[in-house]
């Protein structure tokens, strides 16, 4: 599920960059190759520049970018962003749970964070408020440093 959503987000970034470009962050991609493709596309600003930047050192990422160039996106940009955010939040909540299990005293510090994530994740199900909630969740995940996860 995460891989499919990541691929669709990358297709949108290649073919309709304005629909997702400013809403995606590396932390939304759990697959390392997809994350590398996203970073290359974001840094270069276009597909050709991204390909040049990864061609020699990361041929698997270059192959993915070539594949994305010929595959048209099939999903709505908002739906893809919401799905990626939901998946990233599930990973973040699992990480928070692990931290609390390893150090029960962390519950005081992490409990409110988990509660906020859970509250905003519920808002992702409401079509009207989903994008606003997704933006809040991405900001929270970035602030928490989940990018390295």
Mean pLDDT of 45-51: 94
Q: How confident is the model at residue 103 (pLDDT cuts 50, 70, 90)?
A: confident
Please answer whether residues 140 and 116 qualify as being in contact, where contact means their C-beta atoms are separated by less than 8 angstroms: yes
Q: Is residue 129 classed exposed, middle or buried when 0-12, 13-18 and 19+ CB atoms within 10 A define those classes?
A: middle
Distance CA 67, CA 89 (A): 28
Closest by CA to 4, choosing from 60, 12, 39, 53, is: 12
pTM over 0.85: yes
Q: Report DSSP letters for 47-102, one per residue.
A: HHHHHHHHTTT-HHHHHHHHHHHHS---S-HHHHHHHHHHHHHHHHHHHHHHHHHH
Q: Is the pLDDT of residue 149 over 60?
A: no
Question: Residue 108: its pLDDT value, please?
Answer: 85
Question: Residue 2: its pLDDT value, please?
Answer: 65
Q: Is the pLDDT of residue 20 over 50?
A: yes
Q: How confident is the model at residue 62 (pLDDT cuts 50, 70, 90)?
A: very high
Q: Is the pLDDT of residue 137 over 90?
A: yes
Question: 5-9, 78-82, 100-104: which range is least confident on average?
Answer: 100-104
Return mean pLDDT, the chain: 91
Percent of the chain residues topping a pLDDT of 70: 96
């Amino acid at each position: 599920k995460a891989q499919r959503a990541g691929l669709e987000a990358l297709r949108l970034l290649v073919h309709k960059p304005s629909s997702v470009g400013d809403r995606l962050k590396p932390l939304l991609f759990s697959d390392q190759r997809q994350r590398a493709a996203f970073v290359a596309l974001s840094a270069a600003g276009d597909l050709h520049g991204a390909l040049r930047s990864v061609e020699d050192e990361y041929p698997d990422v270059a192959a993915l970018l070539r594949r994305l160039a010929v595959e048209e996106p099939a999903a709505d940009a908002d739906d893809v962003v919401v799905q990626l955010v939901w998946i990233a939040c599930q990973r973040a909540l699992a990480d928070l749970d692990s931290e609390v299990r390893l150090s029960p005293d962390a519950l005081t510090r992490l409990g409110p964070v988990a509660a906020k994530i859970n509250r905003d994740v519920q808002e992702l199900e409401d079509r009207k408020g989903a994008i606003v909630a997704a933006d809040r969740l991405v900001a929270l995940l970035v602030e928490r440093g989940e990018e390295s996860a």
